[in-house]
Amino acid sequence: MSSPIESRSEKYLRFSRRGMTVALLLVLAVGGVCVVMAVHPASPRFPQAVLPLWIVAVVLAAGLQRTLGGERWDPRAPEARAIAEDEWRRSNLDRARRAAFVVVLGAQLPLGLLLASLPTPRAVTAMAAATVTLGLATLMGLFLYFDRDAPDAG
C-alpha cells in the first residue's frame, strides 16, 4: 500500500511501470489480432475487431494518465531523467533484452514447423507477426519482472 504522501519521483516511477504494463497489454492484443489476421486473412470479423482495440487503447491511456494524480508527464523533468538514467533499470532492461533475444531465436523453429501447413506468404506473415509479438511481450514482461521492488533487507 502506498503512503499518503508520495514523492514526485515515486509517482513518475509508478507511472513508468504502469505505462510499460499498458504497453505490454496493447502489444499482446494487437499482436494477437495480427497473427490471427495473417493465419485467416479472409475473415469478415477483422474490421469489427479494430474499433474495440482503439477504444481499449484510449481507455488504458486515460487511466494511465490518472496515475500521476493530476500532474502531467514531463520527460524533461529531473525525476523522469533520473528514472531513464537509473543504472538498475538499465541493467534490468539489458537482462530482459538478452533473454528476449534467446526466446525469439528459440521460437523460430517451432513457429516454422507450426505454420508449415499454410501457404508460404501467409506463413511468413504469421511468423513475422508472432515473432515481433513474442519478442516485445517477452522484453516488456521480463523487464517488469526484473524491475519490481526488491524486498527490504532489514
Kindly tell me the number of DSSP H helices and DSSP E strands found in the chain. Answer: 5, 0
Position 112 confidence tier, pLDDT thresholds 50, 70, 90: very high
- pLDDT at position 116: 94
Is there a domain that residue 153 lies in? no
Query: Domain tally for the chain?
Result: 1
**Residue 57: CB atoms within 10 Å:** 15
Measured between its terminal Cα atoms, the distance across the chain in Å is 19
User: What's the chain's average pLDDT?
Assistant: 86
- pLDDT at position 45: 74
- pLDDT at position 99: 97
Is there a domain that residue 2 lies in? no
The answer to whether the beta carbons of residues 129 and 35 sit under 8 Å apart is yes
The answer to whether the beta carbons of residues 144 and 22 sit under 8 Å apart is no
Is there a domain that residue 78 lies in? yes
Distance CA 41, CA 46 (A): 9
Residue 16 is which amino acid?
S
Is there a domain that residue 62 lies in? yes
pLDDT digits 0-9 by tens, 15-37: 888 889 989 998 998 899 889 88
Residue 28 grid coordinates: 499482446
pLDDT digits 0-9 by tens, 56-82: 888 888 877 777 666 777 778 888 888
Is there a domain that residue 54 lies in? yes
**Angle at CA of residue 29, ends 27 and 35, nearest 5°:** 90
Is there a domain that residue 43 lies in? yes
Is there a domain that residue 151 lies in? no
Domain containing 77 equals: 8-146
Is there a domain that residue 3 lies in? no
